[in-house]
Amino acid sequence: MKWNADLYDDKHGFVSQFGASVLELLDVKPGESVLDIGCGTGDLTKQIQEQGADVSGTDYSAEMIAQARFKYPDVPFEVTDAANFSVEYPYDAVFSNAALHWIHNSGGVIKSVYEALKPGGRFVAEMGGKGNIGKLRAAIKQVLQKHGYTHQAETQIWYFPSLGEYTSLLERHGFRVTYAIHFDRKTPLQDGDQGVAKWIKMFGAQYFTGIPQAEHAKLLKEITTLLEPHYNENGQWYADYKRLRFKAVKEI
């Protein structure tokens, strides 16, 4: 999908804000080499650098990388496929926040990360887990089916694994999982009852592929109405996020 990097920074800064606690699990040591995959517009990559690491950021989106380079010209950023990459020199750690659920080839990601790490290196990440935005996805599907957009209703944009599924994948590729948690984290949406539509336009636009533009506003309004009893808490709207966070070590 094509990303709007300016809109991402302006209205969806919560992605990197919530990622700050994942950095605590990474526990950067000065002088370490760190690769940030799915770095977006680079905010967390820059924070890793400020903690004393020699860090590089990669993302599949050229738009995101262009924004990251503009914001942080002293940090190296590259457009890279996280499911199929190699590095010239191995890293002490690989980090990822809110990116791995966009990549259906999870085996390719884990294999590439394993090969990019030094022996004893660590892979620390957070991603959407099983059940993430379940109410939102159900509402989208219901509305699209109601209006005859059955093909769009079956769109599979994300990969939200269970804790057991993903940790087993890590172990099969040679990692030792030292920490893993699957937890609920309701996430605030900006702009009140407009927040759902803005979230979908930013992250779920693929659902609307092939649907006439003139239909979008009506469909988004119906989706919002379905979600209001679950998402609206005294005027503040929250999305039903469920996150998977882990730390895995490449065995020596």
- Write out the DSSP string of 135-196: HHHHHHHHHHHHTT-HHHHT--------HHHHHHHHHHTTEEEEEEEEEEEEEEESSGGGHH
Other C-beta atoms closer than 10 Å to the C-beta of 211 total 14
CA 82 to CA 103: how far, in whole Å?
8
pLDDT recorded at residue 17: 67
CA 226 to CA 52: how far, in whole Å?
47
For the chain, which residues score pLDDT lower than 50?
A: 3, 5, 8-13
The number of distinct structural domains making up the chain is: 1
Q: Which two tokens stand for residue 99?
A: 């990116």
- Residue 239 host element (H or E): strand 236-250
Predicted TM-score (pTM) of this structure: 0.91
pLDDT recorded at residue 6: 52
Q: Which residues have C-beta within 8 Å of that of residue 61, sequence separation ≥ 6?
A: 2, 3, 5, 40, 79
Its sign, for the CA torsion 213, 138, 15, 29, is: negative
Q: Which residues have C-beta within 8 Å of that of residue 172, sequence separation ≥ 6?
A: none
Q: In this predicted model, what pLDDT tens digit does every residue of 169-204 receive, in sequence order?
A: 999 999 999 999 999 999 999 888 999 999 999 999
Q: Give me the domain span that covers residue 179.
A: 5-250
Task: State the CATH number of the domain containing residue 102.
Answer: 3.40.50.150
CA 167 to CA 86: how far, in whole Å?
22
Contact 45, 77 (CB under 8 A): yes
pLDDT recorded at residue 11: 43
Q: In this predicted model, what pLDDT tens digit does every residue of 202-225 receive, in sequence order?
A: 999 999 999 999 999 999 999 999
